[in-house]
């Protein structure tokens, strides 16, 4: 299985190491699925990690180390063109939809703008994604 993780899931995982998003990351580390990333996703993740309120809880070294891990262990693909029949009510999320569509991946997100599309796209909350992984075993 292939998954595009919304940056909010990754940040949540690092902020709460015992939470569900962290379990999603551990499942990736354990080989439970492939993580798909693109330059746009990495840029958003870098930008979010640099927010002052996050910098107080996630050091620059930790965030850079995680980004390097994703670059080396994830599957990096080119940013897809965004020409979608289904769009998010938040246009900033459309690149995630395009990335998932072009790589035949599911989206894992805690963002209601994306979760609201779950009846039309393979979008799962972190908890629902973990259930999907367990069912696939």
Reported as a single tens digit per residue, the pLDDT across 8-53 is 999 999 999 999 999 999 999 999 999 999 999 999 999 999 999 9
Give the number of residues written for the chain.
137
Nearest to 108 by CA among 16, 1, 29, 31: 1
pLDDT value for 88? 77
pTM score: 0.93
In angstroms, the CA 45 to CA 50 distance is: 9
Reported as a single tens digit per residue, the pLDDT across 62-99 is 999 999 999 999 999 999 887 777 877 788 899 999 99
Instruction: Determine the CATH number of domain 2-136.
Output: 3.40.50.1010
Q: Is the pLDDT of residue 133 over 80?
A: yes
pLDDT value for 92? 87
In angstroms, the CA 14 to CA 20 distance is: 11
End-to-end CA separation in angstroms for the chain: 11
């Amino acid at each position: 299985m292939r998954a595009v993780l919304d940056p909010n899931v990754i940040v949540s995982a690092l902020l709460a190491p015992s939470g569900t998003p962290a379990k999603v990351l551990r499942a990736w580390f354990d080989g439970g699925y492939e993580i798909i990333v693109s330059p746009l996703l990495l840029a958003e993740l870098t930008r979010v990690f640099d927010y002052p309120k996050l910098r107080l809880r996630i050091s620059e070294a930790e965030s850079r180390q995680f980004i390097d891990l994703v670059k080396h262990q994830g599957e990096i693909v080119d940013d897809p063109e965004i020409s979608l029949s289904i769009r998010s009510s938040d246009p900033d999320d459309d690149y995630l939809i395009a990335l998932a569509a072009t790589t035949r991946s599911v989206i894992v997100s805690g963002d209601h703008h994306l979760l609201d599309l779950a009846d039309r796209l393979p979008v799962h909350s972190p908890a629902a994604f973990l259930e999907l992984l367990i069912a696939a075993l």
